[in-house]
Chain A
Amino acid sequence: MERLIYLDNAATTKTSPEVVEAMLPYFTEHYGNPSSVYGFAAANKEVIIRQREIIAGVLGAKGNEIYFTAGGTEADNWALIATAEAYAAKGRHIITTKIEHHAILHTCEYLQKRGYEVTYLDVDENGLVDPKAVEDAIRPDTILISVMFANNEIGTVEPIAEIGKIAKEHGILFHTDAVQAFAQIPFNVDECNIDMLSASGHKLNGPKGIGFLYIRTGVKIRSFIHGGAQERRRRAGTENVPGIVGLGKAVELAAASMQERTEKESRLRNHLISRIEKEIPCCRLNGDRVKRLPNNVNFSFQFVEGESLLIMLDMKGICASSGSACTSGSLDPSHVLLAIGLPHEIAHGSLRMTLGADTTEEELDYVVDSLKEIVAQLRNMSPLYEDFVRRQKNQEN
């Protein structure tokens, strides 16, 4: 294959060379266990503290409120399960939404099997959660509200500050899965009244398998992984020092370039959206047009199926993803697309393209040209399109 156009940065990103370079010495030279007494190893403790400070600086938090985890999934599991356990005496009710990542949804199902009640809030046709609906769902036994900062499929950015305010007024803990939003959207945990926040390294040009949970001082959730005394006894296990260093570097770079990068991405994103809308008939932009991640484009193309679309794009060197059932291994299309009210057959024809720091306009123009061809080819093969054309002819006569 000559060309590779990577438009799946919401799935994962390329680890940037500076990050790899920063990590390497921690495999071969500074390999000591940070808990050891001798100076050679103990220096790594300081290194970890420095990374915490970098991350905390971006969030407007304190260094000792950052707990490293093995990624976004662990942070989500930890926030939900440990809160549920710690606050069980107060109540057993959790509020979340229908469009969360499976790391949240499946953890909620796990808790439901153990006697917790979960309210899954609806979203509107653009994927937005109504803060009023959050407030209305609050009960005396509500212990946690968890709403994602930005959705990974359709890119919708939720009204987190408003929801945080409501949570605070009612004295309820507020967690947000910010895996897609952290270092993409500027925000501050105090201004948004966030008590816990999950993030992941590999979505921001950092390494995979490393992330963190921010826990506001005073939140009394306990350890989730039991063992040694690392992470102030809240998350056991010898620290992934190279991973933590890589995450720190990635966050530093992402925060420094945030404004410039996201401005460029938004411009390219809008270019891609407007060309598709102008040049490909019967399509629909999924997600909010304005309250949207700078790098997310998600379209449904009527009468075509997503997996076919992905294979054809792959043959042209274009990497993207879809919410069709056939790409998820189940018979149902993505829960997010169903939650915004798409009929099944339209949800099956969805395509997500997520830009990265290196994406160029020229690449996107090639993508649109390819997409036009592919969609036309698949429609030509589609019995649904045939019926549509026939219906239109009948209407004309």
Chain B
Amino acid sequence: MYTEKVMDHFQHPRNVGEIENASGVGTVGNAKCGDIMRIYLDIDENQIIRDVKFKTFGCGAAVATSSMATELVKGKNIQEAMEVTNKAVMEALDGLPPVKVHCSLLAEEAIHAALWDYAEKNGIRIEGLEKPKSDVHEGEEEEEEEY
């Protein structure tokens, strides 16, 4: 079902984790559809993405696209990171099955949400960046039952 590249990124996801005091954090997706992606960015004073980490709840395609997206933005400046689209992520993975294409949208959205957070914190505007629409509320006390 998945390409070798997807399987490789799923089995050995790059950049899993958290960044303390990150320059920007973005969480997108929702548990209802079964995919949530969170991206942490560490951006230096020259607006270069020094480090990036992710956490993802989702299927194989969601994990692989998160992993690939972090690889593609690492070391880039924020304008270059804006060019990492879902299409670019998908191509880098040699494609996804049609039913999984929606998973790749999340990766782009998560990067944008993290960049938005960074821009807000620093009072700057990033060319072409819009306020993320599907950001889930962080730290919200959902009354989840625990088993």
Chain A residue at smallest Cβ distance from B110: A383
Scoring B13, B34, B55, B58 by chain A CB atoms within 10 A of each residue's CB, the highest score goes to: B34
* CB of B59 within 8 Å of the partner chain: yes
Q: Which of B18, B31, B34, B145 contacts A326 (CB 8 A)?
A: B34
Q: Is the CB of B147 within 8 A of A345?
A: no
Q: Is the CB of B32 within 8 A of A382?
A: no
Q: Is the CB of A387 within 8 A of B139?
A: yes
Instruction: A93 to B27: give the CA distance in the assembly, Å.
Output: 47
Q: Is the CB of B32 within 8 A of A311?
A: no
Instruction: A283 to B36: give the CA distance in the assembly, Å.
Output: 20
Q: Is the CB of A343 within 8 A of B34?
A: no
Q: Which of A282, A308, A329, A386 contacts B60 (CB 8 A)?
A: A308
Q: Assuming A324-B34, A386-B55, is B63 touching A381 (CB within 8 A)? A: yes
Interface size on A, residues (CB 8 A): 35
Residues of B contacting A344 in the complex (Cβ-Cβ under 8 angstroms): 31-34
The 4 closest A-B pairs by CB, nearest first: A345-B31, A326-B59, A307-B59, A284-B147
Q: Could you give 10 example pairs across A and B, Cβ below 8 Å? A: A304-B57, A307-B60, A308-B59, A324-B59, A325-B34, A326-B61, A381-B13, A381-B55, A381-B63, A386-B38
Minimal beta-carbon separation of B82 from chain A (angstroms): 23
Minimal beta-carbon separation of B126 from chain A (angstroms): 23
Question: Per-position contact with B for A160-186: 1 when CB-CB < 8 Å, else 0?
Answer: 000000000000000000000000000
Q: Which of A284, A302, A331, A384 contacts B36 (CB 8 A)?
A: A384
Chain A residue at smallest Cβ distance from B98: A329
Instruction: A306 to B60: give the CA distance in the assembly, Å.
Output: 10
* CB of B56 within 8 Å of the partner chain: yes
Residues of B contacting A331 in the complex (Cβ-Cβ under 8 angstroms): 33-34
- A residues contacting B by CB (< 8 A) are 282-284, 300, 302-308, 311, 315, 324-326, 329, 331, 333, 343-346, 348, 380-388, 390-391
- B residues contacting A by CB (< 8 A) are 7, 10-11, 13, 16, 18, 27, 31-38, 55-63, 99-100, 138-139, 141, 144-147
Consensus secondary structure, chain B interface: mixed
Q: Is the CB of B145 within 8 A of A383?
A: no
Q: Is the CB of A303 within 8 A of B57?
A: yes
Q: Is the CB of B139 within 8 A of A390?
A: yes
Residues of A contacting B62 in the complex (Cβ-Cβ under 8 angstroms): 305
Instruction: A348 to B59: give the CA distance in the assembly, Å.
Output: 10
Q: Knowing that A284-B147, A326-B61 touch, tell me 13 more A-B residue pairs with CB under 8 angstroms.
A: A305-B34, A305-B58, A305-B59, A308-B59, A315-B11, A344-B34, A345-B57, A348-B31, A381-B13, A381-B56, A381-B57, A385-B57, A387-B139
Instruction: A49 to B53: give the CA distance in the assembly, Å.
Output: 67
Residues of A contacting B33 in the complex (Cβ-Cβ under 8 angstroms): 325, 331, 344
